[in-house]
Structure 1
Amino acid sequence: MALDGIYLSLLRKEFDPLIDGRVDKIHQPSREELIMTIRTKEGAQKLMFSTGAGSARVHITTADIENPKTPPMFCMLMRKHLAGGRLTAIRQDGFERILFFDFEATNEMGDRVNLTLAAEIMGRRSNLILYHEDGRIIDSIKRVGQEMSSVRMVLPGAQYTLPPREQRLNLMECTKEEFLAKIAENPTAELSKAIMKTLEGISPVFAREAVFFAARGAEITAEQLSGDTADRLWFYFSKVRDSINDGTNVYTVLKTKEGNLKDFCFCDITQYGALMVTKSFESPSVLLDYFYAERDSLSRIKQKANDLFKLLINTSERTQRRVQNQREELKECKDREKYRIYGDLITSNLHALQKGMAYAEVQDFYDENCPTVKIPLDKRLTPTQNAQKYYKEYRKLDTAEKKLTVLIAEGEQEVKYLDSVFDSLTRAQTEGDIAELREELFQEGYVKRSKFKGKPPK
């Protein structure tokens, strides 16, 4: 995702009205999320901190997220140190993907102390770290021991240090000459990747958009950047710099035509043409609130549909196996005429047969050549009883054929129906769609009625 250093800087500007506000409430809805309510003269705002690998972010949220009955230990610690504290500053070093929230709070002794909450937005290495003004770590939402990282430990009592940082240029401060000289250090790299190695806090989608504008849609390497292409690229960066300074950014979300969320950025994205649908927002926080709420909603929908997917797959496979077994049985029914003929041949030769015989050697008058056939007999039965036994087997197979033909047709129709429901489930966009399919499967007898109607009790 494109929550890069530039986007964080725009969020930091949006957070400015929160400075001098007081920490009113702190909640931890999940292991990797923290919500802090800051109360100012204009009202209360909720700050969402997330350190999830695929959802790391910090922004103002209006979402109503349910909290656990018992607060986690990190939440209790945050309340102990920051509850009632005053937010004094929000800092960012260049376009580094870290926001520092400085607080003035009161400790257990009643003394004023300065604490900092570092929100590190770095993918799977994202973290939320609270430390004293002398740099001593109080605790973090994710503890990192020596077995996890030999470069940088994040543990209570350890000294807070910044993550390793590469030397890159700041887009807002560098000159065109400095930029071109730096990008020439990676001549064979794709231009978009070279830009990411040159400028600090640049996301892949933004780098590709800059190249798309400069090279008019062509893919070029860094060594091919010269002349008009270089001028167009710097012109694009100049426009972005102006929009950042003026606060005129257009916050854009990218969606596929099927409605799946793809990416977001702090500027217009045109590189995908008609392959993507864009949606614009006026605020960076509103975009993130929408993006992750929508994505979490889709994730919840898939999770709620997961049991139905498993049910449909298992039922379909079971039905197909049953139909296949029935087809095999039907093949056996094709030999039923043989048993009727055996019964007729035994009946017509009762005078020549006796109880205790293992075989009956008789002429087959159903064949025009009248060959001699050897019919197995049950020694314990009389010839008449043996004939009745073959007639019974014939009737059984004849009845089975009729029933199996019907059952196979019904099974094939059931498989088609299950496939259609599976297809509808893959296209479900809302929880209501899933509820309708669940109700339909209940009516058809595939699922049981849910024990609870509506929301379960807390």
Structure 2
Amino acid sequence: MGSDLFALSALAEELNYALKGARVDKIQQPEVDELRFFVRASGQNKCLVVSCNAGAPRIHFTTSKKQSPKVAPNLCMLLRKYLLNSVIEDVKIHNLDRILSIKFNAKTEMKDDATFYLFVEIMNRYSNIVFADENLVILDAVKHLPLDVARDHVVLRGVKYSPVVQKKISYLSDCFSVFEDFSGGDLHKFLLDSLSGFSGATMAEFLFRAGLENVSEKLTKAQLEKAKSELSYFQTFSTDSQDFAPCIINEKEVYPCRYKSLDKGDNVQTFATMSEAYDAFYTDCDKDIRNKARLKGLATQAKHFRQKVEKNITNDLERLQECEDMEKYRIFGELIVSNIYKIKRGDESLTCLNYYTNEDVTIPLNVQLTPSKNSAAYYAKYNKLKRTKEFVTQKLAADRELLEYALSVESEIAELPYDADIQPIEEELAMLGGGKRVSQKKKVRKEKSEPPYIYQVDGFYIYRGKNNLQNDEITFSLASSNDLWLHLKNEHGAHTVIITEGKQVPDKVLKIAAEITASTKSASCEVDYTQRKNVKRKPNGHPGQVIYVNFKTIVASPDAHEEYLMKH
């Protein structure tokens, strides 16, 4: 994902026209790799989003809104220091590559004139945002690239900014000799390997317009002339061109004009400006990418927490194994007292009859201690191991309960759609110490977290929890004692409740509720159901952990039944 130089050139021209002379009023950094400049341009307030996210690198005006952290990151503070109230002089393509440079005219604290540059590198996973002074010395960047990582493109504070070294020839330069060098084969691949600035789709469009899409031999003179003519079209294309028509084709990418090679009655969305097209395409895309990343991060946190609990259980079992010999030490202490008359000064051991087994036993002695102190030492060791066993036995039970809960949280995360509200699960992990502490800002949003799934089937409401906190809520707050409660048999899963309002639940409704309960499984499975009054919280358990009795079991096929799902 990410536009090629052909699209970015049109975008840069458009932004230059819109931003020239604009004043920077506010700067925010809502994401670690995204900046937002709020500017006053031509009597209008606009928001310029600049992102170097690997999945959605871009720069354009946006109408979307994002919350920013209460404490601004260092880069944001630096930009505010130098660029607030500055004026944008121009926006242009830098180094004939997928780099947009924004030039700012600002005032220092001493009211002297100063110039700063923001370089926006739109290069997919190599994208970056670099802030430099008038001498192009880097002041900071979103991604720092030391010498051992990027020998030809070091991005560190104090280093002079130099763009990525291109091994290809830019299509915006004098590059026609490349066509003359073609000796045969795959022309599309040859040109992509030789020229920079064209994506695969744009190169295919160029060849289509030039009538060269099926050429596999050295170009004739007539073909070279046609290629030269079309190349000139792409090199001189601008927002003033007759063909300029920003669009999204097949929901795949933003294009500055209709691509004849793709426009075959396919899905085409047209826009008045490149910014509008980018905003429409990337806003939802960016949200999806970030939600997936957060969900992946949450899954990693849950996994690490589960592994931590498993390690604790392993340690508990090892400590219990050490306690297996505690009775031996009690007997040793007892036998020393019974045979104390046999022990002489300097004896390193005592061999005597163990009257519990009627066999002789040899007991090691500490020659530095008296016989009575040797006995006391064995009793002390016994008592210590006894206390340890009692403590670790309780801890092991608690850790096993915690492991069950950790597995249920992992199961929740695995079942979540990528666009789900993950705040409740973040809160669960934070409460357990397995995740980052939920910020005060997020706690304010708690009331706005997503509701459980709600279905309406033949007049009955069915609720299904999305996480353990919701499972607790619908089971013990929402449901009445005579409502029906459903859960996967002997597996982690969501709680499902049928609100009966005192009515008999038809078999059809029960079957659908069971299928909804099993909707996260890949095959038919057993679902238990019982009245809510038969469900109790597990003593000292975690959210969502219950015990239930007097239940029946039904076999259900997984089915989300979205046709019954109510929209909020």
TM-score bracket, normalised by the shorter chain, equals: 0.5 to 0.7
Find 1:320's aligned residue among 517, 524, 529: 524
Q: Are positions 1:5 and 2:5 aligned together?
A: yes
Show structure 1 runs of 5+ residues with no match: 256-260, 324-405, 425-432, 441-453
Show structure 2 runs of 5+ residues with no match: 293-416, 423-465, 468-492, 495-515, 528-551
| Structure 1 position 151, deviation (Å) | 2.7
Q: Are positions 1:252 and 2:247 aligned together?
A: yes
* Aligned residue number for residue 214 of structure 1: 210
Distance 1:189 1:119, change over 3 A: farther
Distance 1:134 1:278, change over 3 A: same
Percent identity among equivalent residues? 25
| Structure 1 position 185, deviation (Å) | 3.3
Distance 1:145 1:298, change over 3 A: closer
Query: Which is further off, 19-28 or 245-254?
Result: 245-254
* Aligned residue number for residue 282 of structure 2: 292
Query: Which is further off, 289-298 or 114-123?
Result: 289-298
| Structure 1 position 287, deviation (Å) | 0.7
Q: Are positions 1:263 and 2:253 aligned together?
A: yes
| Structure 1 position 122, deviation (Å) | 1.6
Aligned-partner residue type, residue 253 of structure 1: I
Indicate conservation of the 8 Å contact 1:94/1:170, yes or no.
no
Indicate conservation of the 8 Å contact 1:4/1:203, yes or no.
yes
| Structure 1 position 62, deviation (Å) | 2.0
Alignment of 1:134-283 (within 5 A): 134-171=135-172, 174=174, 179=176, 181-188=177-184, 190-215=186-211, 218-221=213-216, 223-226=217-220, 229-241=223-235, 243-244=237-238, 246-248=240-242, 249-255=244-250, 261-272=251-262, 276-283=266-273
Aligned-partner residue type, residue 303 of structure 1: Y
Q: Are positions 1:303 and 2:418 aligned together?
A: yes
| Structure 1 position 274, deviation (Å) | 5.0
Distance 1:147 1:314, change over 3 A: farther
**CA distance, structure 2, for counterparts of residue 298 and residue 243 of structure 1:** 32
Indicate conservation of the 8 Å contact 1:183/1:198, yes or no.
no
Indicate conservation of the 8 Å contact 2:102/2:119, yes or no.
yes
**CA distance, structure 2, for counterparts of residue 186 and residue 147 of structure 1:** 36
Indicate conservation of the 8 Å contact 1:130/1:140, yes or no.
yes
**CA distance, structure 2, for counterparts of residue 291 and residue 124 of structure 1:** 18
TM-score by length of 2: 0.51
| Structure 1 position 24, deviation (Å) | 0.5
| Structure 1 position 214, deviation (Å) | 3.4
Aligned-partner residue type, residue 250 of structure 1: A
* Aligned residue number for residue 419 of structure 1: 559
* Aligned residue number for residue 49 of structure 1: 50
Distance 1:88 1:276, change over 3 A: same
TM-score by length of 1: 0.63
| Structure 1 position 213, deviation (Å) | 3.4
Aligned-partner residue type, residue 211 of structure 1: L
Q: CA RMSD in A?
A: 3.5
Alignment of 1:376-395 (within 5 A): none
Indicate conservation of the 8 Å contact 1:130/1:139, yes or no.
yes
Indicate conservation of the 8 Å contact 2:29/2:35, yes or no.
yes
**CA distance, structure 1, for counterparts of residue 81 and residue 8 of structure 2:** 28
| CA displacement, residues 374-428 of structure 1 (integer Å, 9 cap, x when unaligned) | xxxxxxxxxxxxxxxxxxxxxxxxxxxxxxxx96xx41xx21xx2354xx5xxxx
Distance 1:85 1:419, change over 3 A: same
* Aligned residue number for residue 341 of structure 1: none
Q: Are positions 1:32 and 2:33 aligned together?
A: yes
Higher relative contact order structure (alpha carbons within 8 Å, sequence separation ≥ 6): 1
Give the secondary-structure state (helix, strand or coil) at the position aligned to 2:181: coil
Give the secondary-structure state (helix, strand or coil) at the position aligned to 2:189: helix
| Structure 1 position 191, deviation (Å) | 1.8
